[in-house]
Structure 1
Amino acid sequence: MFSLTILNLATIVAAPFAGRLIDRFGARTLLFPSLIAMALCLLAIGYGVTSLPALYAVCALFGFSTVGAQSLTYNKLLTGWFDANRGLVLGIASSGLGLGYSILPLIIGFGMAAYGPGGTTLLLAAIILLLPLVVNLFVAHPRPDREAKGNEARSDPVGRTLRQAVTTRYFWLLAIAIFLVSIIATGIVPQFANVSKDLSFTTAQAATIASVFGIATLIGRLVVGWLFDRFFAPRVTSIIFFAAALGYALAAWTVFGGLGWTGLLIAGILMGLGFGAESDLIGYLASRYWGYRHFGAIYGSLLSIFILGAATGPLLYGTMRDIAQSYGPVFILCALLGTTASGLMLLLPRFPTAEELHDPVPVRTPGLVPAANESNIR
């Protein structure tokens, strides 16, 4: 499991740099090498790893070299193509993650039974090269009037720099909210089986809770994306995050004996909705608050914060469970963290207009920290 921590840490380091490269040279420049690197790393795990240090090294390379094949690249492309229905489009795209989570175990199960571990990694590498790589050759093109050349775009799309973004109070409000929700949402995924075991639920009941969580995540991504296009996105997200916090409170109540399996099932639905909202949130708000031109650098920085939370969550759950001999206390903490994230979303200001984003000097909209000098602005 520590190999996953190493992979996440390498991705945290790589994401901001990858975002800058995408802004400067275009998404395709990083997308295809990352897909090829992903296939090669899988083959290395299947055929080249003969020791634990070697596994750690390959996982570090995996995390660092494949970030260009993750949401960073796809969100950069999609935000360039879509405006009015951007929330729904990002929701549909991110729902592919849910489908992948559902299909991948079946593929791995088939591969292990038919070909063994090495053959399974070869099968996964082949799938990557034959499906996403080939499909992206035809569809992963930037909008012609927004194709990057050097560090500028031909039609001068609006957008703040990363330096300007981090001087705003709402960047850090968003970053903290993302971090908190990432801890509680990604940390719960590996825990459902253990929670069910602690409560003496059957294997079938545990599988049902995990499946319902996945379905709720998929639905949440679609519904929340649709709502983003029609209502003020931070308020929508605040409601969803609060619903997720209620889910963790229900889970704590179940652990302490107040509810049975049905209570944990309802909690799983509410948790899944929160997980779905968080996935769409980063790309949508980054594009609305700071524009398109430097979207990759800003999104990459926020993605690093999200991954840091994802790396922290499982450790938090496991440590508190071992200390308390119960998941009740960690669920209470998660309910508090989710409520805090919900409140932070209510503090976000209105989206700046295109004219404000075009202005070379950031306007003093609510929540904006004035730059100290001209070099700061640049």
Structure 2
Amino acid sequence: MALAVWSEAARAEFRRHWRLLLAAAIGFSFTSVITASTGLFIEPISREFGWSRALVSSGVSITAILAFLASPLFGTFIDRWGTRRMAIPGLVLMALVIASLSLLTGSTLQWFIVWTIYGIATLATKSTVWTAAVNSTFDAGRGLGLGLVLSGSALAQAISPPLADFLIERFGWRNAFVWLGLGWGSLAIILCFAWLRDGYDISRRARLAAGPEGANAPLLNVPGLSVAQAWRDPNLWRIAISTFIIMTATIALVVHQIPILSEVGVDRTTAAAYAGIAGLVGILGKLVTGALLDRYPARWVGGFTMLATSTTFVLLLWPGAPTGAIVAAMMINGYAGGTKLQLVGYLTAAYTGMRKFGTIFGAMASLIAAGSGLGPVLGGWIYDTWGTYTPLLWGGFALMLLSSFLLFGLRAYPEWKKLEGAAAAA
């Protein structure tokens, strides 16, 4: 009976808000295009300008540094303004900046300036925005809703590598940036302009209808922890540390996966195809994980997912690995590793509620950014120092085991969903 009630409630939410899910998924996919395709641009840019792999990888790291410093501030903007007023301007700026990478001249100063502007755009389109949109709108189907929206990154991982490889081979790396920025970006902007309307917008309309009495009310007047309470919560510390570890290891693998596969004897075109397979499997992983999160404790779902992810690093350590092992490694990484943002978004909402979700998840986004920035440069530095990615793979294996241990140790979370449902009914 409980499952039937859940299913009917979830179906009702999806009938009302499927357009929001589609717009947010495409919007989030666009924010992941550069990360997913960076590995294809490393070689041609390095060859043309004589740059090291660490320097070429630094563009993602510059973005991550800015996100680390400013994500908490932009999280408070979500609590104050909602997601729509953040996402649409950010997507427009991001599309223009990606296209502008076609104008690189070999100046490192120009490289740093362009990526700094890109970093500003990402602050308004981080996972915080899309996660807040779903969490503010969905209750019974929150886990699956997050899975559908955050599948956007898996979609980018599936399409971007083979698409970027095709564009580079056909038009050159400069025009590839133009196609990725203005093509994909335009679709994301149009859909979000039309359909990105979530719980924050519903609450804003209710405040306006309430007149002067609603003017001073919080944009989302629901239960949850204050920022000070969240700071003292040991569960949040476990989630935070685990998040940093996961992002450091998995983003390093994603950015360097093409060179890593080349190291075990896979040519670039085949490696791009394998990366695409991982992205497609990642979509399935997010959907399955979302359904599991709505039925089972998130600490168990997250713990087993990270445990599975550790096997990817071991399989890629296999010298002269057969095709089956390589494909298995990419599929496991796509399935398990692709759920990391979904897990941290769900876990944060589960343990803090939505009262100050934007601000609290903004702090989590800082750790996501720190790990995302450290991982690519660390991977490049390891290769430049040792001439192999083997130390990176062993380190990733150990970090995934530690992350799994931290998530398994979480305590049961409060029943925020019931409290939020009661507040909405009232």
TM-score of the superposed pair, with normalisation by structure 1? 0.82
**Which stretch shifts more, 266-275 or 170-179?**
266-275
Residues 357 and 121 of structure 1: is their aligned pair in 2 closer, same or farther, counting only changes over 3 Å?
Answer: same
How far the C-alpha of 1:146 sits from its partner, in A, is 3.4
How far the C-alpha of 1:56 sits from its partner, in A, is 0.9
Identity of aligned residues (%): 25
The answer to whether the Cα contact below 8 Å between 1:145 and 1:154 also exists between their aligned partners in 2 is no
Residues 357 and 161 of structure 1: is their aligned pair in 2 closer, same or farther, counting only changes over 3 Å?
Answer: farther
Hey, what's the Cα distance between the residues in 2 that align with 1:76 and 1:97?
A: 16
Deviations 1:93-142 (A, max 9, x none): 11122223333456656766887777655555544664222222222113
Hey, what's the Cα distance between the residues in 1 that align with 2:275 and 2:417?
A: 46
How far the C-alpha of 1:345 sits from its partner, in A, is 0.3
1:350 counterpart SS class: coil
Hey, what's the Cα distance between the residues in 2 that align with 1:269 and 1:30?
A: 34
How far the C-alpha of 1:249 sits from its partner, in A, is 2.4
Name stretches of at least 5 consecutive residues in structure 2 with no aligned partner.
Answer: 1-55, 208-214, 421-426
What corresponds to 2:138 in structure 1?
A: 82
What corresponds to 1:59 in structure 2?
A: 115
Counterparts in 2 of 1:87-126, with a 5 A limit?
87-104=143-160, 123-126=179-182
**Aligned-partner residue type, residue 146 of structure 1:** S
What corresponds to 1:218 in structure 2?
A: 283
- 1:238 has 2:300 as partner: no
Counterparts in 2 of 1:1-378, with a 5 A limit?
1=56, 2-46=58-102, 51-104=107-160, 123-127=179-183, 130-143=186-199, 146-147=203-204, 152-153=217-218, 156-203=221-268, 205-252=270-317, 254-255=318-319, 260-354=322-416
Hey, what's the Cα distance between the residues in 1 that align with 2:248 and 2:221?
A: 37
2:406 counterpart SS class: helix
The answer to whether the Cα contact below 8 Å between 1:12 and 1:305 also exists between their aligned partners in 2 is yes
Name stretches of at least 5 consecutive residues in structure 1 with no aligned partner.
Answer: 359-378
**Aligned-partner residue type, residue 189 of structure 1:** V
1:153 counterpart SS class: coil
The answer to whether the Cα contact below 8 Å between 2:67 and 2:365 also exists between their aligned partners in 1 is no
Hey, what's the Cα distance between the residues in 1 that align with 2:243 and 2:354?
A: 20
The answer to whether the Cα contact below 8 Å between 1:215 and 1:272 also exists between their aligned partners in 2 is yes
1:69 counterpart SS class: coil
How far the C-alpha of 1:79 sits from its partner, in A, is 0.7
How far the C-alpha of 1:160 sits from its partner, in A, is 1.8
Hey, what's the Cα distance between the residues in 1 that align with 2:167 and 2:315?
A: 38
Q: Please provide the CA RMSD for this pair.
A: 3.0
Residues 197 and 19 of structure 1: is their aligned pair in 2 closer, same or farther, counting only changes over 3 Å?
Answer: same
Hey, what's the Cα distance between the residues in 1 that align with 2:390 and 2:170?
A: 41
Residues 336 and 105 of structure 1: is their aligned pair in 2 closer, same or farther, counting only changes over 3 Å?
Answer: closer
Residues 317 and 18 of structure 1: is their aligned pair in 2 closer, same or farther, counting only changes over 3 Å?
Answer: same
How far the C-alpha of 1:189 sits from its partner, in A, is 1.7
The answer to whether the Cα contact below 8 Å between 2:79 and 2:219 also exists between their aligned partners in 1 is no
**Aligned-partner residue type, residue 140 of structure 2:** A
Hey, what's the Cα distance between the residues in 2 that align with 1:157 and 1:132?
A: 30
Hey, what's the Cα distance between the residues in 1 that align with 2:100 and 2:361?
A: 30
How far the C-alpha of 1:38 sits from its partner, in A, is 1.8
Residues 120 and 292 of structure 1: is their aligned pair in 2 closer, same or farther, counting only changes over 3 Å?
Answer: same
TM-score of the superposed pair, with normalisation by structure 2? 0.74
